[in-house]
Amino acid sequence: MNPIWAVALKEFQDGVRNRWFISITCIFALLAIGLSYYGSVASGQITPPSLSTTIASLSSLSVFIIPLIALLLCYDSFVGEQESGTLLLLLTYPVSHTQLLLGKFIGQGSIITLATIIGFGSAAILLGFSTNFASVLPAFALFILTASLLGLSFVGLAYIISLSVTEKSKAAGMALILWLFFVLIFDLGLLAILIGIEDGVTQQGLVQLMLFNPADLFRLINLAALDSGDVNGVLAVAINSDYSVSSLLLMMLAWVVSPLLFALFIFSKKSI
């Protein structure tokens, strides 16, 4: 067996064994089903919300939860093995740094991707039965695709953390800070620029700044595909940009690949 698959299989089995897989899937399914049926209650309506409202609220919640889950799942991926000494042992095996990193990424990435597909997919099917599949499926397909990419990009970011520190607790702390930065501080900063500095950034400039944050990219793609009436905040300004969905998707893909490449670079320089 190719070592990449051996590592990937082990990581995947680990994820299933310690109940990560089942709990992530359940969280996603509950979130999606709950929001699609009862999402409008908060705004005082009893009728089921429109599809775009559902996707909008799902995106706003997922943007917090998915990065957190990915970071929690993967922050100890390398530092944990380093602490227990198995990383040293693995490197004496006929396994290259690249194979080990890719194997872990494929294994843990499939946990997140599969959980996203099954969790949100089940909600999409339920919603499809009560409304019509023709409109639900494309919207959810894009949502699931971007949610997976968001998860994968934070897996890569978690590997960077896991490879740059030598203690598990430090990795956990850094993961938390990274999460806070991308989902909260970054946007607060953008808002501050918008409000505080008159003509500080153009609309185009704002969108360009958002490309530096995978979480914002995720929201941008999903909200741009909706009726803009359901969207407010910084994003409302940004979604009327002239970036096409496919080019934004490519940017997200870059956010998956580049952290991985950087992690590999750190790994190759790391002394065990």
Partner 1 sequence: MNENIILLEQVNKNYQQLAALQNINLKLAAGEVLGLFGHNGAGKTTMMKLILGIVKAGSGKVSVFGVDPQNKKAWSSRKKIGYLPENVSFYDQLTGFEVLTYFARLKSADKKQVPQLLEKVGLSFAENRPVKTYSKGMRQRLGLAQAFLGDPKLLLLDEPTVGLDPTATKEFYNSVDQLKSNGASIILCSHILPGIEQHIDRAMILSGGKSVALGTLSTLRNIAQLPVLIKTQGIDDALQQNKNLAGFMIDQNHLQVPESEKINVIRELMSFKKLTDLQVETPTLAQIYQYFLGNNKIDTKQEKPL
Pick from 86, 132, 169, 247 the residue near partner 1 by CB under 8 A. Answer: 86
Burial of 186 (0-12, 13-18, 19+ CB in 10 A): middle
Q: How far is the CB of 91 from partner 1 (least distance, A)?
A: 6
| Helices 51-74 + 20-38 axis angle, to 10 | 160
Q: How far is the CB of 85 from partner 1 (least distance, A)?
A: 5
The smaller minimum CB distance to partner 1, of residues 17 and 129, is found at 17
3-24 per-residue burial string, b: 16 or more CB within 10 A, e: under 16? bbeebbeebbebbeeeebbeeb
Q: What six digits make up the tokens of 134?
A: 């023709």
Q: Which of 27, 33, 61, 95 binds partner 1 (CB under 8 A)?
A: 95
Choice between 9 and 201, CB closer to partner 1: 9
Q: Least separation, in Å, of the C-beta of 116 and partner 1?
A: 24
In the bound state with partner 1, the residue whose beta carbon lies nearer, of 236 and 272, is: 272
Contact segment (CB under 8 A) with partner 1 among 87-95, 129-137, 167-175, 197-205 equals 87-95
- Check if the beta carbon of residue 66 is closer than 8 Å to that of residue 147: yes
Residue in 46, 47, 94, 129 binding partner 1, rule: CB under 8 A? 94
Contact between 96 and partner 1 by CB under 8 A: the answer reads yes
Q: Counting contacts by CB under 8 A, is residue 91 touching partner 1?
A: yes
Site pattern 144..183 for partner 1 (x: CB under 8 A): ----------------------------------------
Examine residue 270 and tell whether it contacts partner 1 (CB under 8 A): no
**Which tokens hold the place of 185?**
């501080």
Report whether 161 contacts 178 (CB < 8 A).
yes
Alpha-carbon torsion angle 176, 261, 20, 178, nearest 10: 10
* C-alpha distance from residue 73 to each of 25, 48, 223 (Å): 13, 34, 27
Q: Where do we find the tokens 């934070």?
A: 154
Per rule CB under 8 A, is residue 92 in the interface with partner 1?
A: yes
Determine which residue in the list 30, 125, 177, 272 makes contact with partner 1, applying CB under 8 A.
272
- Based on the shown chain and the rule CB under 8 A, indicate whether residue 61 belongs to the binding site for partner 1: no
Q: How far is the CB of 104 from partner 1 (least distance, A)?
A: 13
Shortest Å distance, C-beta 272 to partner 1: 6
Half-sphere exposure of 141 (CA within 13 A, CB side): 6
Q: Between 22 and 236, name the residue whose CB sits nearer to partner 1.
A: 22
Q: Whose Cβ is closer to partner 1: residue 19's or residue 203's?
A: 19
Q: How far apart are CA 101 and CA 109, in angstroms?
A: 11
Among the residues of the chain, which ranges form H helices? 3-17, 20-38, 51-74, 79-84, 86-91, 97-130, 133-164, 168-180, 186-196, 203-210, 214-224, 234-238, 245-269
- Which residues contact partner 1 (rule: CB under 8 A)? 1, 3, 6-7, 9-10, 14, 17-18, 84-86, 88-96, 271-272
